[in-house]
Chain A
C-alpha cells in the first residue's frame, strides 16, 4: 500500500460512514485515526447522538467482527472476558472449556462503560492495552485488528463509576460528541424516519486496516516536530518550571508518556490521511485535544473558573512554541 491507496481507503471509509452518520465529520475522522492507529476510543455525549450507531456503522464499513457490551452495575468481568465452563468431552468426561466473552471481537462497543463497577471496568485493561485476555492463568490473544470503543453519558452521574485514571489512559482518544446543527438534524430525521434508509457498505477489511497501520508506523517524524509534541506533553505538568502559567495554576496532574505516544501515533495517521509522508506541527496540534483531554486532570480552581481540559490544552498549545 502506498500513500495514495492509503488516502483513498481512508476517504472511502469516511464517506461510507458519513452515509449513515450525519455530521460528526471530525468524530468520524478521529475514530478512523484511532482505528488505524490501533487505539481505543472513549466517546462521551448525551444519549441519542449516534454513538452506538457510529460504532456499528464502523464495524460494517470495515467488515469487522463486532460485539456490544452494555455495561451495567451487575455486569461481572467474566461476562466481558468469558469464563471456563464445565462440559463433557466426547468420551463423556467432564472438562473445562473456555467460553469466550464478547470482548473477543475486532471491534468492541463498551456501551455506558461508567455504569459498570471498577472491577468489571478493569477487566478491559489487559484487553485494551495488551490485546490479550488472561482467564484462569491462560492468556489468549484477541483477534486483530482489535479496538474498544466505549461510550459514556456525561449527564447521569448517579449510580455511575467514573473511570479510573489508569483506565482512561488506555484510551487513545476521548471524543466529545456535540449536538448536531439544524441542517444536520434535518438530514438525520430524513435519513432515519423514511422508508428508504441509506446503508453504508463495506469499504475496507481487517487486512486493509492492518496494512494502513503498518504504513502509518513508517511515516517519518522530523526532530523539531517530535520535540514540539513532547514539549506539549511536558507542558501539561504543573510541577515543571517550564510549564505555562495556565498549567501551573489549573492542572492537578499532567499527561503520562502514553499521551506523547498517542500524539505521535495519531499524528502519523493523520499526515497520511492528509496526503503527506511526514508529520507536521499542525498534525500534532490537531490531535492534541482528543489525545490529551482525558489525560490531564484539572484542580478545583479550574473547575471553579469553568475551565475545561480543552481550553487548558489550547492555552498550552498557544504557550508552546514550535
Chain B
C-alpha cells in the first residue's frame, strides 16, 4: 500500500511543507492562482449582482419599490461580498493549485513533487529538483488574471441593459413619490401630535392615568404609521386611533361630568345647569350658574334648594375621579353648609369648568388626528383617491343645482378639482345655462359608521334658461367640503361654474338626495362618505346624468337623516379649545339654521 502523506489527507487544508525550496518555488505560483481564482469569483459576483439589479429593476415596473438604487447598491454589494466569501471558502488547496500549475505545461511535476515532499529517496529528490526547476522557469503570466471571456461579454450586456432600464419611464415612480409625501406628511403630523400631547395646557386637566392612556395611544399610532407607505392603511390606523380616542373621551366625559350632571338633573332648578354641563358649553354654564345664583338669592325655597344642591354636590364629589375637582366640590358643599352661597357657587363654577375642560381636553388630540387623516388623504393625491373623488365632484355639480330649491335643473358643468371630473349621461327636457362661483375648502373626516363633516362657505350665482318642467331659475353654487374615510378619502377645493341642461326640475323638485355613502368602494370594509365640496365660479364641470343616479336611490340617503349626526360631530369637533367661542357660536348657528 502506498503511504499517504498529509497532502492527500488534507484535501483543502494548508499543506505543511517539508522542503522549503519547493515551497519557496511554489508560493508565487500559488498566490497567483489564488488571485486568479478570486478574480473569477469577483466577476461572477458582479454578474450575479447585475442580474439581481436587473430583475429588481424589472420588478419595479410592476410593483412600486422605494429606494431602488439604494437597494440595488446594498444588495449588489452584499451579493458580491457573499460570492467573494464563497470564493474564499472554496479557495484552491495546495493540491488543487499544484494541479492547476501542472496544466500550464509542467506535466504533473508539481503534484508529484508535492506528494513526494515527505520522501527523501534519490528518485524523490531528483523529481523534486526537477519540479523546482520547472517552477522557477514557469512564466507566471500563463496564469491569466483576466476574467473569462464570457464573463466579460455578460458584464457588458448586463450593464448596458441596466443603464437602459434607467431611462425607461417607470409608471410606479409617481406611486413612490406619493408614498414618500404621505410618509413625510404623517411624520410631520405625528410630531405635531406628540408635541400637543406633551405641551397642551388642556391636557394638563387630565388625570395621570388618563394622560398615560393618551400617551400609549399616540405611541401605538406612531409605531403603526412608522413605515406605512399605503395611505389606505394609514387612514385605517388613524381611524382606529380616533375610535380609541373617542372612546377615551367618552369615558373621561362620563367620569368627569356624568355623575355631576345626573345629580344636577335630578333637581328642577338645576336642570339647565345639567344641560349646559352635558353640552360642555361654558357660556351656557355661566348663564345657568347665574340663574341658579338668582334662584338661591330670591327663591322662596332657597334654603331647601341649597340643601338639595349640597346633597347633590356631595354625591357627585364622591364619584369624581379628579381629586382637584373633587376638592373644589367638597369646598362648595362646605360653603353651602355654612351659608356662603356665592362662594359656593363660585367654587361650583370653578369645579365645573375644570371638569368641562378636562372632558374637552381630548378635543385637540382628536383635531390633530383629523388633520393627520386629511393630510394623509391629501398626500395620497391623485391615483386612486382622485379616481374615487371624481364621482364626488360630479355629484357636487348636481347638488349645486339641486340645492337651488329645485329650480335650476342643470347637471352639466365644468370644474377643476382634485380628481377627475366625472361625466354622466342623461336626458332631460330642461335646458339651462348657469354659472356659479364659489370658494371654499373642505375637510372630511369620518369613521366606520360613515360619518363625515365638512365646513366651508361659498356663494355663487347661476343663471339658466331652458325649457321644461322646471323652467328657468337661478342657482347658487354651494361650496362645501368633501370628506371621506375608509378606503377613499380626501378633501379638496372645488371651484366651478355650472351650466347645463337635461334634468328636469320636476324630478329634482321632490325628494332631494345627496350621495353620502358609496359602499361599493369600501373594498376593505371601510366606508366612504362624500360630502359636497366647495365651489367657486372658476372652472367648469361637465356631466350628464345617466346610469346610477339619484333616482335609483342607490348608495344615497336623505340628507335629513344624516343631519343630526353631522351636527353631533360638529359639536364634538368644537371641543377643541383653540376654536374661539365666536366661531363656535357661528357653527352652532349654522347647524341650527340647517335644522330649521
Please give the residue numbers on chain A whose beta carbons come within 8 Å of chain B beta carbons, in ascending order. Answer: 2-3, 218-225, 276-282, 322
CA A177 to CA B146, docked complex, whole Å: 46
Assess whether A224 is in contact with B123, with CB atoms less than 8 Å apart: no
Residue of B nearest to A279 (CB): B108
Count, A-B residue pairs, CB within 8 A: 51
Binding stretch for chain A, among B109-117, B213-221, B320-328, B528-536? B109-117
Which of B8, B99, B111, B130 is in CB contact (< 8 Å) with A277? B130
Q: Least Cβ distance of B260 to chain A in Å?
A: 95
Interface CB pairs A-B, < 8 A, 28: A2-B126, A218-B123, A219-B123, A220-B112, A220-B115, A220-B116, A220-B127, A222-B108, A223-B2, A223-B8, A223-B115, A224-B99, A224-B108, A224-B111, A225-B108, A225-B112, A276-B107, A276-B109, A277-B109, A277-B112, A277-B123, A278-B107, A278-B112, A278-B113, A278-B130, A280-B107, A281-B107, A281-B108
Assess whether B107 is in contact with A282, with CB atoms less than 8 Å apart: yes
Interface string of B119-136 (1 = CB under 8 A from A): 000011011001100000
User: In terms of DSSP, what is the predominant structure of the interface of chain A?
Assistant: loop
Assess whether B8 is in contact with A278, with CB atoms less than 8 Å apart: no
Assess whether B123 is in contact with A222, with CB atoms less than 8 Å apart: no
B113 contacts which chain A residues (CB < 8 A)? 278
Assess whether A222 is in contact with B126, with CB atoms less than 8 Å apart: no
With A220-B112, A222-B112, A224-B99 as known contacts, state yes or no: A277 contacts B107, CB within 8 Å: no
Q: Least Cβ distance of B120 to chain A in Å?
A: 13
Assess whether B127 is in contact with A277, with CB atoms less than 8 Å apart: yes
Residues of B in contact (CB 8 Å), total 18
Q: Least Cβ distance of A1 to chain B in Å?
A: 11
Residue of A nearest to B119 (CB): A220
CA A121 to CA B109, docked complex, whole Å: 42
Please give the residue numbers on chain B whose beta carbons come within 8 Å of chain A beta carbons, in ascending order. Answer: 2, 8, 99, 102, 107-109, 111-113, 115-116, 123-124, 126-127, 130-131
A280 contacts which chain B residues (CB < 8 A)? 102, 107-109
Assess whether A278 is in contact with B109, with CB atoms less than 8 Å apart: yes
Assess whether B123 is in contact with A220, with CB atoms less than 8 Å apart: yes
CA A280 to CA B109, docked complex, whole Å: 8
CA A322 to CA B8, docked complex, whole Å: 16
CA A220 to CA B7, docked complex, whole Å: 15
CA A322 to CA B100, docked complex, whole Å: 11
B131 contacts which chain A residues (CB < 8 A)? 278
Assess whether B127 is in contact with A278, with CB atoms less than 8 Å apart: yes
Of B109, B112, B126, which is in contact with the most chain A CB atoms at under 10 Å from its CB?
A: B112
Assess whether B130 is in contact with A276, with CB atoms less than 8 Å apart: yes
Residue of A nearest to B129 (CB): A277
Residue of B nearest to A221 (CB): B112
Residue of B nearest to A218 (CB): B123
CA A277 to CA B99, docked complex, whole Å: 17
Known: A222-B111, A224-B111. 11 other contacts (CB 8 A): A220-B115, A220-B124, A224-B99, A224-B108, A225-B111, A225-B112, A277-B130, A278-B107, A278-B130, A280-B102, A280-B109
A3 contacts which chain B residues (CB < 8 A)? 126
Q: Least Cβ distance of B477 to chain A in Å?
A: 87
Assess whether B115 is in contact with A222, with CB atoms less than 8 Å apart: yes
CA A218 to CA B99, docked complex, whole Å: 22
Of A276, A278, A279, which is in contact with the most chain B CB atoms at under 10 Å from its CB?
A: A278
Q: Least Cβ distance of A226 to chain B in Å?
A: 8
CA A219 to CA B112, docked complex, whole Å: 10
Residue of B nearest to A224 (CB): B111
CA A224 to CA B101, docked complex, whole Å: 14
Assess whether B126 is in contact with A277, with CB atoms less than 8 Å apart: yes
B123 contacts which chain A residues (CB < 8 A)? 218-220, 277
Q: Least Cβ distance of A11 to chain B in Å?
A: 18
B116 contacts which chain A residues (CB < 8 A)? 220
Residue of A nearest to B102 (CB): A280
Residue of A nearest to B121 (CB): A218
B115 contacts which chain A residues (CB < 8 A)? 220, 222-223
CA A282 to CA B2, docked complex, whole Å: 22
Q: Least Cβ distance of B503 to chain A in Å?
A: 85
B124 contacts which chain A residues (CB < 8 A)? 220
CA A322 to CA B111, docked complex, whole Å: 13
B8 contacts which chain A residues (CB < 8 A)? 223
A279 contacts which chain B residues (CB < 8 A)? 108, 112
Residue of B nearest to A278 (CB): B112
A221 contacts which chain B residues (CB < 8 A)? 112
A219 contacts which chain B residues (CB < 8 A)? 123
CA A285 to CA B8, docked complex, whole Å: 24
B2 contacts which chain A residues (CB < 8 A)? 223
